[in-house]
Amino acid sequence: MDQRNSLDTVPTWVPASGHALRHAGIHFDAVRIGGLRGEEVAYELMEFTDFAAGPIVRELAGAQNVYFLLPPRTASGYAWPAGARALSRNHRSEAFVGVPALRGLTWPLDWRSRPTGEVPFVEPDLLHEIVVRTLV
């Protein structure tokens, strides 16, 4: 078994089945990028990290956004370019992110990259660098 890709315990914010909405800024922050641009950033990040990028959720229907899950209270510390939106908890707004279960039917959400014990979140500095390089 590849320990890098397994979890001893599932994070509390990952539902046991299906999918659930989670309040950004509590268990994680998120950066949302739409459609093909989000997929491009996800691929660049995964390639750079040898496919151990941390949790990336994608929508399979609708806007087909891609959500990069960062440690709580980190996303707002960066100036994200147009096309990328930080989702966190603050006094001005609330944001929710759909999170799929690790197994089973989760449509319309899917994991592009799962959280692991070694990489429980996407690294914010690296994500920001790739987003700026890809979207600007």
Q: Which residue has the higher pLDDT, 91 or 21?
A: 21
What pLDDT shows up at residue 85? 96
The neighbour count for residue 103, using CB atoms within 10 Å, is 10
Q: Is the pLDDT of residue 2 over 50?
A: no
Element (H, E) at 84: strand 84-87
Banded pLDDT at 92 (limits 50, 70, 90): low
What pLDDT shows up at residue 9? 76
Phi and psi angles of residue 125, each rounded to the nearest 5 degrees, phi first: -60, -45
| Entry field: residues in the chain | 136
What pLDDT shows up at residue 103? 94
What pLDDT shows up at residue 1? 34
Amino acid, res. 67: Y
